[in-house]
Amino acid sequence: MRVLGFMTGTSLDAVDMAVLETDGETIAAFGPAGERKLSEPTRDIMLAATQAASKWPRGAPEPAIFAEAARAGAQEHFAAAEEFLARHDLKWSDIELIGMHGQTVLHERPKAGAAGRTVQLGDAGLLARKAGVPVAYDFRTADVAAGGEGAPLAPIYHLARARASGLAPPLAVLNIGGVANITFIRGDGEIAAFDTGPGNGMIDLLVQGRGAGRFDDQGRYASVGRVDESVLRGLLGHSYFQAPPPKSLDRYDFPLEPLESLELEDAAATLVAFTAEGVRLAFETMRETPTELIVAGGGRHNPEIMKALKARLPCPVSAAEDHGWRGDAIEAEAFAYLAARTARRLPISFPKTTGVAKPMTGGKIVRP
């Protein structure tokens, strides 16, 4: 089936879109991919929803802004797709299914005696009605309700993408968004995955907080800064790094306060090292060295992050494009693929990716 996948990351930068022809197992063809920057009103309401989520007590009614933000998100997805489809001479009638991840405004991993919480906002029913196409959505909550981490969900797609490229295991795929997550594809084809630590999120928040832009474009600040090893050691002392996988993060799980005494450039360089060290520790945790690490997501555009990974990891590091992958579209492709799996009731989360007891289906489908 021809599926349109959407992804909006925690950086609140853009709606990413990609079309796949897939049955949720193999990939028959790759359709077009693209993005549209989030409008400022939608970005503002999603930021407000994220702030409300951070103060939302367990058991309390959900913040009223969630419904407003969900509607705004659906409208934004529809408008982005209208432009995208027209640009590629496609119509809604050419699309059989939509996969919409929604905007993550809250992600809390499970703790002793308490299930996790995860919230992705997007009014799937509204999108289905406007597009006239069924929408698969809400991919994470069933996993969380069953005691899983609810993340990462892309690993099964990373495996399918590697197979479509004829890449032989063992290898690893790293996605660097607001948070970084890694998929290890072992020699027998088995996958294991977890969040390694911060991706771009902390650097974005640092730069924004100091009034220096929305992100560190091309690593401009980090490239002239020096890593503060003492601060880096303190950051790496966070209990998350001692926890066994599977495990997951929210982009706000690590505070910026330890960097307050540093100049912007040194703070940015230290956070680049923090991202790379989190990945290095993931390799140590797995006690396995793949033949290659393939990097996707926005973080691969930061040359300082790529340099740090190459300097600190025990295997070759390549960008997604080195294998003909669309590095900015991997997650949108993944949710197209997961939508197809949802339609066929195939598992989307697994014991070694989210920690659930057995492979689980997930996601819901709403029809026009």
By C-alpha distance, which of 144, 186, 193, 156 is closest to 169? 186
Report if residue 246 sits inside a domain.
yes
Task: For residue range 294-336, list pLDDT tens digits in order.
Answer: 999 999 999 999 999 999 999 999 999 999 999 999 999 999 9
3-class secondary structure for 292-325? CEEEECHHHHCHHHHHHHHHHCCCCEEEHHHHCC
254 plus 342 within the same structural domain: no
114 CA to centre of own chain: 24
Both 208 and 97 in one domain: the answer is no
- Are residue 133 and residue 172 in the same domain, yes or no? no
**Non-local CB neighbours of 39 within 8 Å, separated by 6+ positions:** 76
Q: Are 157 and 337 in contact (CB under 8 A)?
A: yes
Determine the pLDDT at residue 42: 97
The whole domain housing 59 covers: 2-151+334-366
∠ Cα 188 146 149 (to 5°): 65
Same domain, yes or no, for 310 and 355?
Answer: no
∠ CA 48-43-275, nearest 5°, is 90
* Strand order from edge to edge, sheet including 317-319: 191-198, 179-185, 171-176, 293-296, 317-319
Over 90: is that where the pLDDT of 113 sits?
no
Beta bridge partners of 207: none
pLDDT of residue 215: 95
Alpha-helix runs per DSSP H in 55-193? 65-87, 124-131, 141-145, 155-164
One domain, residues 200 and 262: yes
pLDDT on residue 288:
80
Residue 329 within a domain = no
In a domain, 158, yes or no: no
User: For residue 226, what pLDDT band results from cuts at 50, 70 and 90?
Assistant: very high
CATH number at residue 78: 3.30.420.40
- Check whether 262 has a pLDDT greater than 90: yes
State the average pLDDT over residues 247-275.
Answer: 96
**pLDDT for the residue numbered 187:** 86
Q: What is the DSSP string of 47-58?
A: HHHHHHHHT--T
Q: Give yes or no: residues 105 and 137 share one domain.
A: yes
Judge if 272 and 340 occupy the same domain. Answer: no
Q: Is residue 328 part of a domain?
A: no
Predicted local distance difference test score (pLDDT) of residue 259: 98
Determine, yes or no, domain membership for 279.
Answer: yes
One domain, residues 317 and 339:
no
Question: Is 270 within the bounds of a domain?
Answer: yes
The closest of 291, 277, 280, 69 to 168, measured between CA atoms, is 291
The CA R_g of the chain, rounded to the nearest whole Å, is: 19
DSSP secondary-structure letter at 244? Answer: P
Identify the bridge partners of residue 185 per DSSP, sorted by sequence position. Answer: 171, 191
316, 344: one domain: no
pLDDT per position as a tens digit, 161-201: 999 999 999 999 999 999 999 999 998 889 999 999 999 99
**Alpha-carbon separation of residue 217 from 57, 74, 213, 234, 314 (angstroms):** 36, 29, 9, 26, 27
161 occurs within a structural domain: no
Candidates 165, 230, 155, 148; CA nearest to 193 is 155
- Do residues 187 and 307 both lie within one domain? yes
Number of independent structural domains in the chain: 2
Query: What phi and psi values does residue 274 have, to the nearest 5 degrees?
Result: -65, -45
pLDDT of the residue at 345: 98
111 domain residue, yes or no: yes
Q: Where are the alpha helices (DSSP H) in the chain?
A: 40-54, 65-87, 124-131, 141-145, 155-164, 201-209, 229-236, 264-286, 303-312, 330-343
Asked if the model's pLDDT at residue 213 lies above 90, the reply is yes
**pLDDT, tens digit (0-9, with 9 covering 90-100), for 45-100:** 999 999 999 999 999 999 999 999 999 999 999 999 999 999 999 999 999 999 99
Phi/psi for 177 (5° steps) reads -110, -140
Q: Are residues 237 and 359 in the same domain?
A: no
SS3 97: strand
Output the average pLDDT for the chain. 96
Residues 185 and 306 in one domain: yes
